[in-house]
Amino acid sequence: MSVPVERYLSARAGLVEGALDRLFPPNRTRLREAIRYSLLAGGKRIRPVLVLAAGEVAGGQTRALMPWACALEMVHTYSLVHDDLPAMDDDDLRRGRPTSHRVYGDGLAILVGDALLTEAFRVIATPRGVLPARGLRAVAELAAAAGEAGMVGGQALDLASEGARATLARVRGIHRLKTGALLCASVRVGAIVAGAGEGLLKRLTTYGRHLGLAFQIADDILDDVGGAGADGQTDRELGKVTYPGALGMAGALRAARRERDAARAALRPLGGSADALRGIVDFVVERAGHAVEGGAGGPRRAAGAPCA
Ligand code: GRG
């Protein structure tokens, strides 16, 4: 890669930002205002950038990949808006500002999520420059990762496990679905749309699964260290199953780094074309490393198996 990874990632995130803005221009309705409020609130854009980076490894063009990148971010944002609702986590802050339901009320926040999920599938149902068979496979992939066998199923398990003993098996099972499925699907969707062969898809899927776990371990660490939570309590204090709860803080950081190394190992034969994917997993894990150290540095499945 000729430009540093950080510059690549922020440039791609900027492109995604512009594309999302164009998909939802202001139209003077309260619903559109509320959609823009959550969607254009400056998240890290990890999922759409994964779509682009994985697709580019497989020889895809940014322009053709962009609707898919936007769809992943729209599904992710819907999940955050719904997760913040009083019936779920009841959070006051998201992406550094008041949550959707605090500003617009519970009813409109529910509709923002509904609209983003539905529109995500509209955006990818009319793609340009993508072979229909690839497009259909990628649509099914996203639906599976977001639905009952993926993110929604993981959220249901998480709700049911509040106050339960934090065993490692329970933590892994929840996070593989709740967070990991959509992250891994971001990688697979990009690769499928770009026409990756099964060998490359298998490699990228292994990367995506380890990235998903690394992400959630890092997120648990950041939550525990930062004391996040609507009422000032961490997830662990709220009785949620977390990696630091199961492994201790140092053990959780070691586990995140093991997942990062496994994700990187899957990319080894791909050379410089996979530098962006390496940069993303490093970024995800080292945010947690910085938080803990103050400045220091799943079972195998078949190649074609989806992420959930
Ligand atoms: C409500 C159907 C439904 C699902 C919710 C993913 C999820 C399932 C809830 C989010 C709860 C949460 C905060 C989990 C921790 C991991 C996570 C998804 C963090 C937020 O993702 P980032 O860090 O956020 O990529 P940004 O704002 O940067 O996009």
Mutate which of 80, 241, 242 to test ligand 1's pocket (most atoms within 8 Å of Cβ)?
80
> What pLDDT score was predicted for residue 230?
42
Among the listed ranges 58-62, 174-178, 204-208, 242-246, which one has the minimum average pLDDT value? 242-246
**Given the CA of residue 223, which atom of ligand 1 is nearest to it?**
15
Q: What is the pLDDT of residue 124?
A: 96
Which is the closest atom of ligand 1 to the Cα of 154? Answer: 8
pLDDT digits (tens, 9 = 90+) for 78-100: 999 999 999 999 999 999 999 99
Please say whether the beta carbons of 263 and 281 come within 8 A.
yes
Task: Specify if 203 maps to a domain.
Answer: yes
- Residue 2 C-alpha to ligand 1 middle, in angstroms? 32
Identify the weakest region by mean pLDDT among 182-196, 219-233, 246-260, 278-292. Answer: 219-233
5-12: which pairs have CB atoms within 8 A and are 24 or more residues apart?
Answer: 5/275, 5/276, 5/278, 5/279, 5/282, 6/279, 8/275, 8/276, 8/279, 9/49, 9/276, 9/279, 9/280, 9/283, 12/45, 12/48, 12/49, 12/52, 12/53, 12/62, 12/276
CB 267 within 8 A of CB 277: yes
* Closest C-alpha residue for ligand 1 atom 2: 152
CA atoms within 13 A on the CB side of 208: 35
CATH at 224: 1.10.600.10
Kindly report the number of other CB atoms within 10 A of residue 243's CB atom: 29
* 131 inside domain: yes
Q: Which residue has the CA at smallest separation from atom 27 of ligand 1?
A: 43
User: Which atom of ligand 1 lies nearest, measured to the CA of 44?
Assistant: 28
Is 102 part of a structural domain of the chain? yes
Question: 177, 179, 182: which to mutate for ligand 1, most atoms within 8 A of CB?
Answer: 179
Q: Cα of 264 to ligand 1 centre, how many Å?
A: 23
Question: Does some domain include residue 269?
Answer: yes
In this structure, is residue 88 part of a structural domain?
yes
Query: Where is pLDDT greater, at 154 or 302?
Result: 154
| Residue of 17, 92, 178 to mutate, ligand 1, most atoms within 8 A of C-beta | 178
pLDDT at residue 210 is higher than 90: yes
pLDDT of 130 higher than 50: yes
Confidence of residue 137 (pLDDT cuts 50, 70, 90): very high
Tokens 């993303």 belong to which residue? 280
Q: Please answer whether residues 34 and 100 qualify as being in contact, where contact means their C-beta atoms are separated by less than 8 angstroms.
A: yes
Q: Each residue of 78-94: b (16+ CB within 10 Å) or e?
A: bbbbbbbbeeebebeeb
- The more confident residue out of 235 and 170 is 170
Least confident of 3-12, 23-32, 233-242: 233-242
Q: How many angstroms is it from 254 CA to the middle of ligand 1?
A: 22
Q: Is the whole-model pTM more than 0.85? A: yes
State which ligand 1 atom lies nearest to the alpha carbon of 77. 29
Within-domain flag for 307: no
Q: Which residues line ligand 1 (CB under 6 A)?
A: 43-44, 46, 76, 79-80, 82-83, 88, 95, 151-152, 155, 178-179, 219
Average pLDDT, stretch 2-24?
90
> How many Å lie between the centroid of ligand 1 and the Cα of residue 237?
19
pLDDT score at 162? 79
Check whether 295 has a pLDDT greater than 70.
no
User: Average pLDDT, stretch 153-161?
Assistant: 91
Task: Provide the angle, in degrees to the nearest 10, between the axes of the packed helices 5-23 and 62-83.
Answer: 80
Number of structural domains, the chain? 1
CA of 182 to the centre of ligand 1 (A): 10
CA-to-CA separations, 282 to 2, 53, 101, 251, in angstroms, rounded = 18, 14, 33, 18
End-to-end CA distance of the chain: 31
Mean predicted confidence (pLDDT) in 2-22:
89
Q: Would you call 13 helix, strand, or coil by DSSP?
A: helix
Q: Is residue 302 part of a domain?
A: no
When pLDDT is averaged across residues 230-253 and rounded to a whole number, the result is 77
Average pLDDT, the chain: 90
CA 79 to centroid of ligand 1, rounded, Å:
7
Least confident of 51-55, 61-65, 171-175, 238-242: 238-242
Has residue 299 got a pLDDT over 50?
A: no
Residue 4 alpha carbon to ligand 1 centre in Å: 27
pLDDT greater than 80 at residue 3: no
pLDDT of residue 235: 72
DSSP annotation of 302? -
* Residue among 263, 268, 157 nearest 218 (CA): 263
Taking the C-alpha atoms of residue 266 and residue 139, their distance in angstroms, rounded to an integer, is: 25
Please state whether beta strands 97-98 and 93-94 pair in parallel, antiparallel, or not at all (unpaired). Answer: antiparallel
Mean pLDDT of 32-55: 96
Coil/strand/helix, residue 93: strand
With a CB cutoff of 8 Å and minimum separation 6, the contacts of 259 are 210, 211, 213, 214, 217, 285
Q: Which domain holds residue 284?
A: 5-296
Q: From atom 15 of ligand 1, which residue's Cα is the shortest distance away?
A: 219
SS3 77: helix
- CA nearest to 59, candidates 266, 270, 307, 211: 270
pLDDT at 147: 98
Tokens at 1, concatenated: 């890669």
pLDDT higher than threshold 80 for residue 234: no
305 within a domain of the structure (yes/no): no
What pLDDT score does 302 carry?
A: 37
- What is residue 303's predicted lDDT score, i.e. its pLDDT? 41
Q: Which band of pLDDT confidence, cut at 50, 70 and 90, is reported for residue 133? A: very high
